[in-house]
């Protein structure tokens, strides 16, 4: 059986990279040539994502660092 640290690193790498990919896909929704949205829609999306990031930050008990293109522990 793998130890807790190994499992954490494995899952964190997969999940964070998947979340980054999904955030980029959400960002693609800003293409006005392909989609029709209101500024209110955009604000709601950003607010919901910011709220979740803040919740995540509180759960880990730390502050954020600059984001990179990919994530690895």
Say what the pLDDT of residue 51 is.
94
Say what the pLDDT of residue 43 is.
94
Domain-wise residue ranges, the chain = 4-60
Question: Which has the closest alpha carbon to 56: 12, 9, 25?
Answer: 12
Burial of 20 (0-12, 13-18, 19+ CB in 10 A): middle
**Is the Cβ–Cβ distance between 5 and 73 less than 8 Å?**
no
Alpha carbon distance 12, 64 (integer Å): 16
Query: Is pLDDT larger for residue 2 or for residue 24?
Result: 24
Say what the pLDDT of residue 73 is.
59
**Is the Cβ–Cβ distance between 64 and 57 less than 8 Å?**
yes
pLDDT band for position 2 (50/70/90)?
Answer: confident
Q: What percent of the chain has pLDDT over 70?
A: 82
């Amino acid at each position: 059986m793998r130890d807790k640290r190994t499992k954490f690193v494995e899952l964190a790498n997969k999940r964070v990279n998947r979340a980054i990919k999904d955030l980029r896909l959400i960002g693609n929704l800003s293409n006005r040539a392909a989609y029709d949205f209101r500024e209110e829609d955009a604000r709601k999306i950003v607010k919901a994502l910011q709220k979740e990031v803040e919740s995540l930050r509180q759960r880990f008990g730390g502050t954020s660092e600059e984001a990179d293109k990919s994530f690895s522990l």
